[in-house]
Amino acid sequence: MRTQVAIIGAGPAGLLLGQLLHQAGVANVILERSSADYVLGRIRAGVLEQITVDLMEQCGVGQRMRQEGLAHDGIELLFKGERHRIDFAGLTGGKTVMVYGQTEVTRDLMAARAAAGLTTIYEVGDSVTLHGFDGTAPAVRYRKDGQEQELQCDFIAGCDGYHGASRASVPKGAVREYEKVYPFGWLGLLADVPPVFHELIYANTERGFALCSMRSPTRSRYYVQVPLEEKVENWSDEAFWNELRSRLDPAARDQLVTGPSIEKSIAPLRSFVAEPMRFGRLFLAGDAAHIVPPTGAKGLNLAASDVKYLSDAFIEHYRERSAAGLDHYSDRALRRVWKAERFSWWFTSLMHKFPGEGEIAQKLQEAELDYLVSSRAASTALAENYVGLPL
């Protein structure tokens, strides 16, 4: 089999790239280690920057997002028992974010790809190997239904996440990795209950961080900070709700509706960047190249901006026979990546309780939060980063 661009990974990054390339007449095939049902079953974040919303519209998959997504023009910061609103729209000239689950983004892109009759090869497991990307004839080999297969291509786009084959295929001396692992995780619970508030609440408390989020007017997603070594089986639904309640202000506690969990899990937090994001004819995008803590809602959105840069570069190559976009892809993407990494690290450091830092750390965080909500300049900096910096 042959195509122009082989895309490794059928998550939102790979599917978005495939759709943008298809619309421009660039042939592509997607390879995915897992089944389509497994991909759709992954619970992920759901705050979309305007850039991501615009790309969904450009791909022709924005209709359900417009109908079911929740436009948010602010967030609430809770500290010292009181909430303070950050007015995104007022501070950024009308910019907002869209609450629309990553699972729904994936579902919409999958449906569009199927409707267009494009090839996605699922359930190839760990058999994918990348070859020849340091030359002029790259290929991807994999096993499907017991048979060895080869996909020849002009370029390979590695959209297969942190543990995927793409970055692992790069010679060790060619990539430099930067990483920070945080000493806590997020215990998350998904439940079919109405949200405690119509906007997200980020809470800094002496018991640790908490986040009140939602997927729809009838489905909520809540998180509490827990030690890194904590096990999800140690937390009953009742224990989770009691802990969340202890980290909320009185008004939020009164509005909290509890119910049985649909899903419950613990996510570790890390900041990670691999440089560069291009190796010959192999290009990395999304979690294959970088990971951010979920505090700043940047993971999916960074993947989308990578895909925007990369799709433009591929399209320019095929339409204009120009290598300029491909040659500058890594530098352009990394400039935005590092700014998002900085914001996510800062927001995580501001909102979480770090073990061993003592009472002074809590007091310093509260002082910074007080300055943040009292200073228009500081509030604007938070708002500008949260809604998304320009491409």
pLDDT digits (tens, 9 = 90+) for 108-122: 999 999 999 999 999
DSSP string spanning 203-259?
Answer: EE-TT--EEEEEEETTEEEEEEEEETT--GGG--HHHHHHHHHHTS-HHHHHH----
How far CA 316 is from CA of 3, 78, 165, 170, 285, in Å, comes to 17, 46, 27, 25, 18
Mean pLDDT (whole number) for 316-345: 97
Rounded CA separation 290/303 (Å): 9
Q: Is 231 a catalytic residue?
A: no
Q: Is 222 a catalytic residue?
A: no
Instruction: Indicate whether 274 pLDDT > 90.
Output: yes
How far CA 116 is from CA of 18, 30, 112, in Å, comes to 11, 14, 6
Instruction: Indicate whether 43 pLDDT > 80.
Output: no
Radius of gyration, alpha carbons of the chain: 21
> Per residue in 3-22, is it b (16+ CB within 10 Å) or e — as a string?
bbbbbbbbbbbbbbbbbbbb
pLDDT digits (tens, 9 = 90+) for 48-106: 999 999 999 999 999 999 999 999 999 999 999 999 999 999 999 999 999 998 999 99
Q: Is 202 a catalytic residue?
A: yes
Instruction: Indicate whether 44 pLDDT > 80.
Output: no
The reported pLDDT for the residue numbered 46 is 85
pLDDT digits (tens, 9 = 90+) for 132-175: 999 999 999 999 989 999 999 999 999 999 999 999 999 989 99
* Cis status of the peptide bond prior to 217, with omega within 30 of 0: no
Rounded CA separation 71/218 (Å): 15
Residues 285 and 311: beta-carbon distance below 8 Å? no
Rounded CA separation 142/34 (Å): 13
Domains of the chain: 5-72+96-179+270-348 (3.50.50.60), 182-269+354-387 (3.30.9.10)
In 3D space, the residue among 288, 262, 260 whose CA is nearest the CA of residue 276 turns out to be: 288
The reported pLDDT for the residue numbered 326 is 98
Instruction: Indicate whether 199 pLDDT > 90.
Output: yes
Exactly one of 12, 72, 223, 309 is catalytic; name it: 72
Looking at per-residue pLDDT, the higher value among 296 and 323 belongs to 323
The reported pLDDT for the residue numbered 384 is 97
Rounded CA separation 341/305 (Å): 14
Name the band, by pLDDT with cuts 50, 70 and 90, for residue 288.
very high
Q: Is 386 a catalytic residue?
A: yes
| Mean pLDDT over the full length of the chain | 96
Name the band, by pLDDT with cuts 50, 70 and 90, for residue 389.
very high
The reported pLDDT for the residue numbered 156 is 98
Exactly one of 142, 182, 202, 222 is catalytic; name it: 202
What phi and psi values does residue 28 have, to the nearest 5 degrees? Answer: -150, 150
Residue labelled with tokens 């990971």: 291
Instruction: Indicate whether 353 pLDDT > 80.
Output: yes
Exactly one of 138, 142, 294, 317 is catalytic; name it: 294
Task: Answer whether 0.85 is exceeded by the pTM.
Answer: yes
Q: Is 339 a catalytic residue?
A: no
Exactly one of 298, 308, 317, 352 is catalytic; name it: 298
The reported pLDDT for the residue numbered 41 is 83
What phi and psi values does residue 226 have, to the nearest 5 degrees? Answer: -135, 160
Name the band, by pLDDT with cuts 50, 70 and 90, for residue 220.
very high
The reported pLDDT for the residue numbered 154 is 98
Name the band, by pLDDT with cuts 50, 70 and 90, for residue 362.
very high
